[in-house]
Amino acid sequence: MSAPLRTRLKFLADTDRPLVYVPSKGGGDETDHLGNFRSRVVEVHDARTSLRSPSLDAEGFLLRLHATRVGDFYDDAELHSVYHDEVGELVGHLTGAHKVEVFDDTRRAASLDTQRERGIREPAGIVHNDYTARSGIRRLRDHFAGDPEALDPLLERRFAIINVWRSIAGPVVDHPLVLCDATTVRAQDLVAMERRAEERTGELQVALFHPAQRWYYYPLMQPDEVLVFKTFDSATDGRTRFTVHSSCQDPSAPDDAPTRESIETRCFVFF
Ligand code: OGA
Ligand code: FE
């Protein structure tokens, strides 16, 4: 078993100040997070060797081999014509959902030059989950705003939001995605934070540190692997609803390591 990575993650320190998250637009700017945040050293364990078969409903994440026919992840048309069907099929298979609808692709690069060149965002800087109980539903409403007849039946049944994360530039040597086993996160560790983007105001969750939290990553993720994780579930029956995650530096990565480029594809999953 490989040694855990000892690295810093940025947690919410207290709730003394109003929390506002202003996401970067991409191209070299930075995400702003207003509030009191503090870095903590944590151990991030190798999920490949220390988790037997994690699930979306317990730990909140899992890894799958997933070859893709996409040639250029920077080509939006190819994402629409090829990738979204591939992701839909995978997520449908993993969850047993009767319908999967992709609604967002976010590309990120760890290198500032690549961010500028490609007009894309930086890796996550704080421990967060993309949605709250409220904003997950709100996101669905917004997506179907033009089609209320489709929306109403969807709101009556269970749905979830799943992210599918993959490298789009070779193995991930540094700045991996790290996730916290959701069964080790207490409800009181999570705090809602306003998300103020130009196109939409929403809400995400940030996390207070607690020693019981157990962190994982998949060392050297390959381009034919995907990390699938759940950021919202409308079910309130005890299964995992949210999965906090971030990115971090790997202190053991060589200085000249190739820099991470990734895409995370978000989908609604209807049961
Ligand atoms: C995500 C996310 C951060 C990163 O996929 O939701 O927060 O650094 N990703 O890739
Ligand atoms: Fe996220």
Q: Give CA–CA dist 119/108, Å, rounded.
A: 9
Q: What whole-number percentage of the chain has pLDDT above 90?
A: 98
CA-nearest residue, atom 2 of ligand 1: 124
Distance CA(147)–CA(149), nearest Å, equals 5
Q: Which ligand is nearest to the CA of 165?
A: 1
* 194: helix, strand or coil: strand
At 3, the pLDDT band (50, 70, 90 cuts) reads confident
> Which residues form ligand 1's pocket by a CB distance below 6 Å?
108, 123-124, 130, 163, 165, 177, 245, 247, 262, 264
Residue 217 has pLDDT above 90, yes or no: yes
Q: Which residue has the higher pLDDT, 23 or 1?
A: 23
Q: Is the pLDDT of residue 2 over 90?
A: no
Atom of ligand 1 nearest to the CA of 128: 7
128-150: pLDDT as tens digits: 999 999 999 999 999 999 999 99
The dihedral of CA 168, 169, 172, 178: what is its sign? negative
Burial 34-70 (b: 16+ CB within 10 A, else e): ebebeeeebebbbbeeebeebebbebbbbbeebebeb
Q: Nearest-5° angle of CA 244, CA 23, CA 7? A: 45
Distance 25 CA to ligand 1 centre (A): 14
Query: Which ligand is closest in space to the CA of residue 172?
Result: 1
For residue range 146-185, what is the model confidence (pLDDT) as tens digits? 999 999 999 999 999 999 999 999 999 999 999 999 999 9
Sign of torsion, CA 172 63 39 27? positive
Q: Is the pTM of this model over 0.95?
A: yes
Residue with CA at minimum distance from ligand 1 atom 1: 264
Query: Residue 90: is its pLDDT beyond 80?
Result: yes
Phi/psi of residue 228, nearest 5 degrees: -110, 130
- Assess whether pLDDT exceeds 70 at residue 1: no
